Copies of this chain bind each other. A is one copy, B any other.
């Protein structure tokens, strides 16, 4: 183990906040925030999902997901349907959201690219691998 884990941990927190800040800034013109964007992005990829499934994909607990869902419903960017099992709520993007999506994606990608310029491609890849690997070992312990 490193002699000083605090530096590593602090760096990760700092980075996380920095990235959120930039993405929020990019989404500001659209009246969206990073938590909402995360949900919209997954729904675009996966189509229809229950809230439970959304929680799983985003590794977030149910209460914050309920809140984000409620905001997106109010903005009419998603629609909710109940099926056979009346406990479950199936969520999918509205046509309004599908129409706006490319603009949001462009803004977010631009912000992400800005954050990554002068950070080499191979470093990004390596970072990605290390983070995935560390998360995997942590999750392994939890179950």
Judge whether A100 is part of the interface by a CB distance below 8 angstroms: no
Give the distance in Å from the alpha carbon of A6 to the alpha carbon of B38 in the complex: 9
Give the distance in Å from the alpha carbon of A65 to the alpha carbon of B13 in the complex: 15
B123 to A130, Cβ gap below 8 A? yes
* Residues of chain B contacted by A15 (CB below 8 angstroms): 12, 16, 131, 134-135
Interface size on A, residues (CB 8 A): 49
* Residues of chain B contacted by A38 (CB below 8 angstroms): 10
A8 to B128, Cβ gap below 8 A? yes
Interface residue ranges of A106-127 to B (CB < 8 Å):
109, 112-119, 121, 123-127
Q: What is the copy number of this chain in the assembly?
A: 2
A127 to B134, Cβ gap below 8 A? yes
Give the distance in Å from the alpha carbon of A143 to the alpha carbon of B51 in the complex: 41
Judge whether A41 is part of the interface by a CB distance below 8 angstroms: yes
A113 to B12, Cβ gap below 8 A? no
B118 to A123, Cβ gap below 8 A? no
Judge whether A47 is part of the interface by a CB distance below 8 angstroms: no
Pull 12 A–B residue pairs with CB atoms less than 8 Å apart, ordered by A. A1-B112, A6-B112, A11-B128, A12-B15, A13-B19, A15-B134, A15-B135, A17-B59, A18-B135, A114-B141, A119-B133, A119-B137
